């Protein structure tokens, strides 16, 4: 069994607290040593109490779903001998009341754009047919353990290479 850790640190400093005007800025530190500035979303807490430069938990959830899907897709493509040159995703999460009337990330849309290596013998970059790529995305979604861990609807909408 694997265990994953993150350390979340917040300090009040000199700011009052009970007036609710305290800073929501804090830090995430991960086991590899990376530390990220984080904050409540400025969509929910006004600046300057929220720091728009920090990653907020809602963004992190969307990024985690996108990243897990990408890693699953890359694994499946490599196992099938499909060479991926680049993978970009413009993921977006929607917050709305859930079935209990509580705010939740109720939907995440992944919009991956995948660029493949040129076909053997040169030429332009190879592209998978739409059905094969859709099948890979479906299988990647099924194996993504982050998507399997949340109740959020996760939608994958691959984008065509421009």
Domain count, the chain: 2
What whole-number percentage of the chain has pLDDT above 70? 93
| Beta strand residue intervals within 2-152, DSSP E | 6-9, 26-30, 35-38, 84-89, 92-97, 103-110, 112-116
Residue 162 lies in a domain: no
pLDDT of residue 154 exceeding 80:
yes
Instruction: Report helix, strand and coil shares of the chain as percent, to nearest 5.
Output: 25, 30, 45
Q: Quick one: which of 122, 4, 1, 146 has its CA closest to 70?
A: 146
- At 128 the pLDDT is 78
Task: Answer yes or no: do 139 and 71 share one domain.
Answer: yes
pLDDT of residue 123: 58
Domain span including residue 122: 57-156
Q: Which of the pair, 123 or 112, is modelled with greater confidence? A: 112
Residue 63 token pair: 């990024």
Model-level pTM? 0.86
Residue 161 lies in a domain: no
State the pLDDT at residue 120: 64
Same domain, 142 and 90: yes
The domain boundary, picked from 55, 73, 98, lies at 55
Closest CA to 146 of 65, 74, 59: 65
How many angstroms separate the most distant Cα atoms in the chain?
68
Residue 66: C-alpha distances to residues 32, 90, 91, 123, 145 (Å): 21, 9, 6, 30, 11
**Is 14 a member of any domain?**
yes
């Amino acid at each position: 069994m694997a265990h994953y850790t993150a350390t979340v640190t917040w300090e009040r400093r000199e700011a009052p607290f009970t007036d609710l005007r305290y800073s929501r800025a804090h830090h995430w530190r991960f086991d590899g040593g990376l530390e990220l500035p984080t904050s409540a979303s400025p969509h929910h807490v006004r600046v300057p109490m929220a720091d728009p430069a920090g990653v907020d938990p809602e963004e992190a959830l969307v990024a985690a779903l996108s990243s897990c899907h990408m890693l699953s897709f890359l694994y499946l493509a490599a196992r099938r001998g499909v060479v991926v040159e680049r993978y970009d995703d413009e993921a977006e999460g929607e917050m709305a009341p859930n079935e209990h009337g509580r705010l939740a990330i109720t939907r995440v849309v992944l919009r991956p754009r995948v660029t493949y290596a040129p076909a053997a013998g040169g030429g332009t970059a190879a592209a998978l047919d739409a059905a094969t790529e859709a099948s890979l995305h479906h299988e990647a979604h099924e194996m993504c353990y982050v998507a399997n861990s949340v109740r959020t609807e996760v939608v994958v909408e691959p984008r065509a290479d421009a």
